[in-house]
Amino acid sequence: MPLSVESDAGPRDKLSPMTRSPVVFRATTTIRAQRREVWSVMKDVVRWPEWTPATVKSVVALDNKALMAGRRYRVKQPRLSTAVWKVTSVDANRDFTWQTRAPGLRLTATHELEGNGPTVVNLTLTIEGALARIAAWFARAKIEKYLRLEADALKRRVEGKRS
């Protein structure tokens, strides 16, 4: 299955900044590997800059490297402000979700695996808050690009390890 990127935002010119509903962006790809192989790469967030440098410059564990609910990570991404992401849930070998906040915004990123060889990867970014629609309007192209690049890089990393 080829990579797909979508959002519920609709066309940029129809994305009303006055609506307070959340905006959801998604990227999906299929990786020719067992779920546990994909999970082992995906869960090791401090090593993401090794395989997705176009979207993640650094990840620093503020509590402990192990991915667990409540753990925090300082993430630096190109052309974005450094943010502290807090893990809100982890279901080992299946998914994890983390959140960050900025004035007027809450961003929630979910990384989900389905199937077990091939494995479908769903990356979702949900933007909520008083400024969600405005932020999505300004950042839509970058968000869609970064989701696509991250999904592609994860696929290359996992499938490359199998070669």
Percent of the chain with pLDDT strictly greater than 90: 82
Which tokens sit at 100?
Answer: 């960050």
The candidate with the shortest Cα–Cα distance to 147, out of 11, 26, 59, 22, is: 26
Which residue is associated with the tokens 């959340």? Answer: 22
Look at residue 14 in the predicted model and tell me its pLDDT: 52
Is the pLDDT score of 94 beyond 50? yes
Average confidence score pLDDT of the chain:
89
Query: 17-32 pLDDT, tens per residue?
Result: 555 689 999 999 999 9
Q: Which residues pair with 137 in a beta bridge?
A: none
Domains and CATH numbers, the chain: 4-162 (3.30.530.20)
Between 6 and 61, name the one with better pLDDT: 61
The beta strands (E) that lie in the chain are given as: 4-7, 23-31, 58-61, 72-76, 83-91, 95-102, 105-114, 119-128
Q: Which residues pair with 112 in a beta bridge?
A: 95, 122
Query: 41-73 pLDDT, tens per residue?
Result: 999 999 999 999 999 999 999 998 899 999 999
CA distance 69 to 71: 6
Q: What is the pTM of this model?
A: 0.88
